[in-house]
Amino acid sequence: MTIRTPIILLTLSAMTLAACVAPTPTTEENRRSRTGATAGALIGGALGASSNGDNKLAKAALGAGVGALLGGAIGSQLDAQAADLRNTIGNDRVSVTNTGNELVVNLPQDILFATDSATLRSDLTRDLQAVARSLLSYPNTTVQVIGHTDNTGAAAYNQQLSQRRAAAVSSILQVNGVPGARIVAFGRGEDQPIASNLSDAGRAQNRRVEIIIRPN
């Protein structure tokens, strides 16, 4: 009990310090940075406290502090990259969502592909070029390109189509300089809808390609 209590107090102190990592204005982005720093403090403190030896107290404090700094740094990077993407993608139908752990760039199928096609529209590849430039500016990230469809037609065909569309988007990123080793492209077909397939509007939302960006 005499050891655990100081460890908890030191971890909480590191969490308080972590809250100061993000810039002072209160925004959604800054809240995410503080969340990352706090999570890092908890993990770092827990790992330090679980170590063997007589220096658990010091290790817990060090782990919490380092975890807070790393978590805050990752959160700040995601905030900066999300702002960069929103400023450079010239299409208000493309959304960029910062979950706190990753960025999700949502590209509706209708702005990239014709119906039943995996051939990218040449006049709209500039949005992917903007994404590629951002990925080159933030090289310590990995990328998943995931194709999705609605439930119209055969499930097997939808799976194949979503895979081909993901591969087409991945190809454009690589042509614009993003190393293929950073990218994994695959299809989900109709398995992960984000809206009801019972309406035209819902099906349109489900037809999409998502680019998931994760810090290393």
87/192 Cα distance (integer angstroms): 28
What is the number of H-type helices and E-type strands within the chain?
Answer: 7, 5
Domain enclosing residue 148, as ranges:
63-215
Residue 163 has pLDDT above 90, yes or no: yes
Task: Tell me what the pLDDT averaged over the chain comes to.
Answer: 81
The pLDDT tens digits of the residues spanning 180-215 come to 999 999 999 999 999 999 999 999 999 999 999 999
pTM: 0.71
**Which helix (H) or strand (E) is 106 found in, with range?**
strand 103-108
Contact 75, 69 (CB under 8 A): no
pLDDT band at 21; cut points 50, 70, 90: very low
Residue 202 lies in a domain: yes
CA distance 97 to 215: 15
pLDDT of residue 103: 98
Is residue 1 a part of any domain in this protein? no
Number of domains in the chain: 1
Does residue 117 lie in a domain region?
yes
Query: For residue 55, is it within any domain?
Result: no
* pLDDT above 70: percentage of residues in the chain: 67
Asked if residue 133 is part of any domain, the answer here is: yes
Q: What is the CATH number of the domain that holds 179?
A: 3.30.1330.60
Residue 29 lies in a domain: no
Instruction: With respect to residue 87, please indicate whether it lies within any of the assigned structural domains.
Output: yes
Q: pLDDT tens for residues 109-158?
A: 989 999 899 999 887 788 999 999 999 999 999 999 999 999 999 999 99
pLDDT of residue 203: 96
Q: Average the pLDDT over 157-162 and give the result.
A: 98
According to the model, what pLDDT value does residue 143 have?
98
Per-residue confidence (pLDDT) for residue 24, from 0 to 100: 43
Residue 208 within a domain = yes
